[in-house]
Amino acid sequence: MSTLIPTQLVLVVDDDSMMRVLARATLEQGGFAVEEANDGHAGVSAFERLRPDIVLLDVLMPVLDGFGACAALRKLEGGDHAPVLMMTALDDSDSINRAYEAGATDFITKPIAWPMLVHRVRYLLRANRAFLDLAQSEARLANAQRIAQLGHWEWNVATDQVRRSDEIYRIAGRTPEQLSAAPKSFLDIVHPDDRPIIEDALYAALYQQQPYNVDFRIVRPDGAIRIVHEQGEVHYDGARKPAHMRGTIQDITERKRAEERIRQLALYDSLTGLPNRHSFKDQLSHAVARAGRTNEVLAILLLDLDRFKRINDTLGHEAGDLLLREVASRLTKILRNMDYLARNDSGEANSFLARQGGDEFTVLLGGLKQAQDATKVVHRILEEVSRPFDLDGNQIVMSASIGIAVHPVDGNDADNLLKNAGAATHYAKQQSKNYQYYNSGMNAAALEKLALESKLRNARGLEQFVLFYQPKVDLSTGRVTGLEALMRWNDPGTGLVPAVQFIPLLEETGMIVEVGAWAMKRAVSQYAAWQAAGLQPPRIAVNVSQVQLKRNDFVTSVQQAIAIAGKPDHGLDIEITESMIMEDIEASIEKLKLIRALGVGISIDDFGTGYSSLRYLTRLPITALKIDLAFVRDMTTNANNMAIVSTIITLARTLKLKVIAEGVETEEQRKFLQLLKCDEFQGYLFSKPVLAEQVPALLARGGKAAAG
Ligand code: C2E
Ligand code: CA
Ligand code: CA
C-alpha cells in the first residue's frame, strides 16, 4: 500500500540538536522520512546528495546561517523547486524579510508549535506540488489548486483587468459576475481594517519592485470571514515598465484557527481559565506604552494568599486547586463590576486579571486618575477573599497580602513594575499587613537582607554564633527556675546581631538545621560545665524552629544533643510555637512525645498569638505555656490584654501546665502577674539575656532576692 505514495523526505538543518530531535520525532510520526544536518554547509551538501522534498532551515547557525544556506541551495541545479521552510525567532520581521529575499518559501516562528509542524510541511509540499503541476498542465493545476485552496490571479496593467482562477471565486464565496474584473472590486471584499495592508503591499510592489507576502481577511457575502495568504510580484516589459502583476491567494483560515487554539493554550492558565503570567506581562507592556501617551495612571496588584501551603498540606492538593479556582472566580466578579469601584471622570476604569502561578494573582488596573484609586479595589478584593470558603464541606477562612506598584512612579516597564509589586507584597507579608503600596526603600531593605544573607553564609563556621541566657524567675519565691537560651550572631563587621534579624534568614536558607542543632548541644554542654563547677544550674530551654521540627531527623538531633551530657540529667528543654505544631499536628505530636520521653520539657512559646487550638492542646505532651510579651506589655493599661493574660493563666492551671509571662519590664506588671497567680516571669525587670559567664552571679542574686 504505502509503496504507492513514496515517503517524502524532510531535511532538517539546525545547529541545535534538541530542535533536530524534536523535529525528527514530530515529522516521523507524521509519516515523513527525516535527514539532519547540523549547520548551513552540511545542509547544502546534504541537499545536493539527498534531494529532499522539503527543507526545514534554522536561521541562526554558526559559519553559514540559514539565509546564506537558503541562497546557496537555490543556486543548485533543481534547487529552486523544493520548498524551504525557515525557522525564525518570534516576531522578528527583519529576519522574515531576509528569509524571503534569500528564497525561502515560508517561515515558521520559534518556539515551534510542534503539533502544527506536520501540517505546515504537508501544506507546503502540497502547495509546492501544485506549483510544479502548474508548469505541466492547466487542468491539473486547477485541481491541485483546489486541493491546496490556492488560487492565482493576473492583473494586466495596460487594460487594468484582473483574471482570476476558479479557486479565488470559491475562496471569496462569489461568482465571476459578483466579483468584477476591475482590481478595485477585490479590495471591496477585503475586511475594511485590512485594506491598508494590501494597498501598502501593492504600492511597494509597483514602486519599489518588491515581491510581497501578506495575510488579510476576506468577507464573504454571508459575513463569514476567510483568512488568506497572498503572494504577488510585478513583471516588467522591455521598457522596464510594469506590464502585469501575478499572484496567488491561499485560504489559510483553518491553519490560522489551529494556530489560534494553540496560542490560547499558551496564554491561559488551565486550572483557573484566567490569562497566565505571559498574557499579563504582554497586557501590561501594552498598557504601559499606551499610558505613556495618555498620562493615565496604572496600578499593578500582586496578590498572594496567606498560608496557602497549609491548605495543600492539610486538605490535599485537590482542595488547594478548588480554592484557587474559587478565588479566581471571586476576583473575576469583583473586577467585572469595577467601574463602580474605581470610577474616574471619563468612566474608563478597566482591569486585567491573571494567575501569576502558584497562589499568586495579578491585577492590572488602568484608567485611574491617581494611585490611591486602587485602594478601593484592593479593599474590595481583601473583603471578598476573607469571606469563608467551602471546600467540599470544609469551611476555611483565608486572607491575602497585596502589593501595589504604580505606573509611572514605581517603574517604567512591565518587568520593573511586576518586580516592585512583588517587593511590596513581600513587605506586606513580613509586616503582617493586608496591603502595601511599593516604595523605593523596599528594594533597599531587600538588598540589605541579601548582603546579610551572604555574610551569614560565610559565617557558616559555628564559632560566630553565641548563646545568651535569660533567667525565668519564680513569682512567689523570686528564685531562678530556668534559663532560656537566645542566640546572637557575632558578625565580625557589625558586632552582635539580634535574633529577629538573622533567624528568619537561617530558616529560609535551611542553615537553621545545623545552627539549631549546635544550639542544643551548646546548651547541654554549658549545663554540664556549670555542674562540674559545683553550681546547681537550672534547666536550659532552647528555641526550636519550624524548619527543624518538620524534619524527620529532628528527634535524632535532640538525642545527639543530650547524649553529650552522658547521663539522664541533661537539663535540656525546648520552646516551640503553637503555629509550628498546627502545621502538621499528627506528626508533631508523635515527635514531641518521643522527645518528652527523653526527659526534655516542652514549652509553647508566644502563646495566645496562634490560632486557637484548644482541642489539640490537651493532646500535646507539653509542660508549660509562655504568654506572649505583647499581651504582658499592655496588660496594665489594656483591659482586653489583661483578660487574655488571666485566661491563659487559668487555662494553664486547668491543663496542669506551668505558665510563664515573658517580657516583664515593670514592677507593676510583676505584681499583677503575682495577683493572677502566674507561676514564673521572664524579662528585663529581672535581667536581660546575658553571657554564660554572668549567669552564676544572677543565680546568686535570685537566691538572695528570695531570701530577702
Ligand atoms: P522568643 O523566644 O519569644 O524570645 C523572647 C524575646 O524577647 C527575646 O528576643 C528576648 O531577648 C526578648 N525579651 C526578653 N525579655 C524582654 C523584655 O523584658 N522586654 C522586651 N521588649 N523583650 C524582651 P531575641 O533574643 O531577640 O529573640 C527573638 C526571637 O528569636 C525569639 O523569640 C525566638 O523566637 C528567636 N530565637 C532566639 N534564639 C533562637 C534560637 O537559638 N533558635 C531559634 N530557632 N530561634 C531563636
Ligand atoms: Ca522563646
Ligand atoms: Ca516568645
Instruction: For 505-560, write each residue's pLDDT tens digit.
Output: 899 888 899 999 999 999 999 999 999 999 999 999 999 999 999 999 999 999 99
* pLDDT for 704: 47
- In 3D space, the residue among 136, 130, 135 whose CA is nearest the CA of residue 151 turns out to be 130
* pLDDT for 139: 60
Question: In testing the pocket of ligand 1, which one of 465, 483, 486 has its CB within 8 Å of the most ligand atoms?
Answer: 486
Nearest CA to ligand 1 atom 21: 663
Q: How far is the CA of 484 from the centre of ligand 2 (A)?
A: 7
Checking if the pLDDT of 611 tops 60, the result is no
In the chain the domains, ranked by start, together with CATH numbers, are: 9-143 (3.40.50.2300), 149-257 (3.30.450.20), 274-439 (3.30.70.270), 462-700 (3.20.20.450)
Q: How far is the CA of 434 from the centre of ligand 3 (A)?
A: 23
Q: Which ligand is nearest to the CA of 603?
A: 2
Instruction: Please identify every residue whose CB atom is under 5 Å from ligand 3, which is an ion.
Output: 605-606
What type of residue is 479? R
* pLDDT for 343: 46
What are the tens digits of pLDDT across the range 395-407?
888 999 999 999 9
Q: What average pLDDT does the segment 329-333 reach? A: 95
Report whether the peptide linkage leading into residue 388 is cis, meaning its omega lies within 30 degrees of zero: no
- In terms of Cβ atoms closer than 10 Å to its own Cβ (0-12, 13-18, 19+), residue 127 is buried
When mean pLDDT is compared across 501-505, 581-585, 620-624, the lowest value belongs to: 581-585
What are the tens digits of pLDDT across the range 249-258?
999 998 888 7
Q: How far is the CA of 499 from the centre of ligand 1 (A)?
A: 7
Q: Where are the alpha helices (DSSP H) in 298-372?
A: 308-315, 317-336, 338-341
Whole-angstrom CA distances from 212 to 208, 216, 422 are 11, 13, 46
Alpha carbons within 13 angstroms on the beta-carbon side of residue 373 total 28
Query: Is the CB of 689 within 6 Å of ligand 1?
Result: yes
- The DSSP 8-state label assigned to residue 464 in this structure reads G
Percent of the chain having pLDDT more than 70?
A: 92
Q: Answer left, alpha or beta for residue 587, where phi above 0 means left and psi between -120 and 50 means alpha.
A: alpha
Residue-by-residue DSSP string for 642-694: HHHHHHHHHHHHHHT-EEEE----SHHHHHHHHHTT--EE-STTT---B-GGG
Checking if the pLDDT of 481 tops 90, the result is yes
Q: Which atom of ligand 1 is nearest to the CA of 512?
A: 44
Q: Which atom of ligand 1 is nearest to the CA of 548?
A: 44
- Sign of the alpha-carbon dihedral angle for 594, 598, 601, 606: negative
Helix (H, G, I), strand (E, B) or coil at 355: strand
The CA-based dihedral angle spanning residues 113, 118, 121, 127, taken in that order and rounded to the nearest 10 degrees: -110
Question: In testing the pocket of ligand 1, which one of 483, 542, 662, 687 has its CB within 8 Å of the most ligand atoms?
Answer: 662
Tell me if 456 sits within 8 A of 494, measured CB to CB.
no
What type of residue is 307? R
What are the tens digits of pLDDT across the range 301-316?
999 999 898 888 888 8
Q: How far is the CA of 662 from the centre of ligand 2 (A)?
A: 9
Checking if the pLDDT of 708 tops 80, the result is no
Query: Is the CB of 462 within 6 Å of ligand 1?
Result: no
Report whether the peptide linkage leading into residue 408 is cis, meaning its omega lies within 30 degrees of zero: yes
Nearest CA to ligand 1 atom 19: 663
All cell numbers assigned to 274: 484566567
Checking if the pLDDT of 588 tops 70, the result is yes
Does pTM top 0.75 for this prediction? no
User: Which residues lie below 8 Å from residue 641, measured CB to CB, with a gap of 6+?
Assistant: 630, 631, 632, 633, 634, 635
Reported residue count of the chain is 708
Query: Is the CB of 634 within 6 Å of ligand 1?
Result: no
Phi, psi of 390 (to 5 degrees): -110, 105
Query: Is the CB of 684 within 6 Å of ligand 1?
Result: yes
Whole-angstrom CA distances from 693 to 291, 462, 520 are 65, 19, 18
Distance CA 616, CA 620 (A): 6
Tell me if 606 sits within 8 A of 628, measured CB to CB.
yes
Query: Is the CB of 605 within 6 Å of ligand 1?
Result: yes
Query: Is the CB of 687 within 6 Å of ligand 1?
Result: no
